[in-house]
Amino acid sequence: MEYLTNRAKFNIFLGIIVCTFFGTTHVFGQKEPQYTQYMYNIGSFNPAYVGTVETPEIAALYRAQWIDIPGAPRTIRIGTNIPFKNETMGLGFNVVNDQLGPVTQTYADISYSYQVNISEETKLSFGMDAGGSFLNVDFSKGTFENPGEPLSQEQVTRFYPTIGAGLFMYSDQWYLGASAPNFLTEGIYNDDVASIVEDKLQFNFIGGYVFDLSDNLKFKPAFLINTLKGAPVNINISTNFLINDVFTLGASYRVENAFSGLAGFQISNGTFIGYSYDYNTNPLGEFNSGSHEVILKFYLGKGSGGSSEKNNKGSKGKPKQIDSPRFF
């Protein structure tokens, strides 16, 4: 298109930083949004998770990344997970708005999961999601390589379908999951948009365990690994301590990227709030004052004592639901 052939390219500081420290040939390499509190946000990137929760839940997350860098990522996510009464199937709905410089993408999808018993203590859930990505590129933001050249249009708006799948296996005290949020990547963007946003197949691998150190203290390590073709593997390792089933304190490390502090508070049986702060350990840390992330979760249908009652096994071969505040 004319606005690309006249080489009107953005000269945003963020683009220089990304190209310098991450070696990307495109200023904006498309990938799923990054989360530090991924253990509370699994439904965002693994559709098999949505039916494994104990009760219907609603989650809202806001992430402000690389504070002080113009055009740095900003992410808003709202999602819901709804288990069916048959304790086999579930539905989820997910909306994510991700901003990076002049590029804004809004993802919306519906997830379905079906789970089976593979032993007396373990369940395996299969999930699929379908939706789309609304892409908007605003060329009125930033400065240009050739500021005197006119643009044929200042905004580009496109819609692209997405299809993803995942697996999620869990028991009373551990879980493992794998997912690919979108299989429709290669060739989905036309040449014009691909000059700005390059989409590639991403895989996510997650796991966690709960160690009961005492009646009032639990240790909850977890990991998340993201792989994206042409990019370094993103490895996240976290450790959290749950105190009196109310307070959560922990730390996380994103390999060769950032250290994070995490805190959470179970306001009531039906409400949880979590916060994390990231400090960059790579050269990018010289240019920003960290990243902030806040998550708020509502567990519907939980009254007083609901968490403790539902966390007990109701029947042989039925593991506890893993998203209870007591466990994961």
Domains of the chain: residue spans and CATH: 2-311 (2.40.160.40)
**CA angle 305–311–313, rounded 5-degree value:** 130
Q: Which residues pair with 96 in a beta bridge?
A: 77, 107
d(CA 188, CA 191): 9
Average pLDDT of the residues of the chain: 81
d(CA 31, CA 64): 17
| DSSP letter, residue 21 | H
User: Percent helix, strand and coil across the chain, each rounded to 5?
Assistant: 10, 50, 40
pLDDT of residue 211: 94
pLDDT of residue 140: 72
d(CA 156, CA 152): 11
Query: Which among 69, 137, 77 has a CA at the least distance from the CA of 107?
Result: 77
d(CA 87, CA 151): 55
| DSSP letter, residue 18 | H
Q: Specify the long-range contacts of residues 141-144, CB closer than 8 Å, at least 24 apart.
A: 141/10, 141/12, 141/71, 141/101, 141/102, 142/10, 142/11, 142/12, 142/71, 142/101, 142/102, 143/10, 143/11, 143/12, 144/8, 144/9, 144/10, 144/11
Which pLDDT band holds residue 11 (cuts at 50, 70, 90)?
very low
pLDDT of residue 214: 95
pLDDT tens by residue, 93-148: 999 999 988 889 999 999 999 999 999 899 999 999 999 999 898 877 665 556 65
Query: Which among 260, 269, 275, 215 has a CA at the least distance from the CA of 242?
Result: 215
How long, in residues, is the chain?
Answer: 328
Does the model's pTM come out above 0.75? yes
pLDDT of residue 145: 59
Which pLDDT band holds residue 321 (cuts at 50, 70, 90)?
low
pLDDT of residue 229: 80
The two three-digit tokens of residue 151, written as one number: 């643009």
Q: Which residues pair with 103 in a beta bridge?
A: 100, 137
Task: Give the lowest-confidence range in 22-31, 159-168, 229-238, 257-266.
Answer: 22-31
pLDDT of residue 73: 92
- The bridge status of strand 291-299 relative to strand 123-138 is unpaired
List of residues 6+ apart from 314 with CB closer than 8 A: none
Residue located via tokens 């508070």? 265
Query: Which among 164, 153, 161, 109 has a CA at the least distance from the CA of 135?
Result: 161
Phi/psi of residue 49, nearest 5 degrees: -75, -25
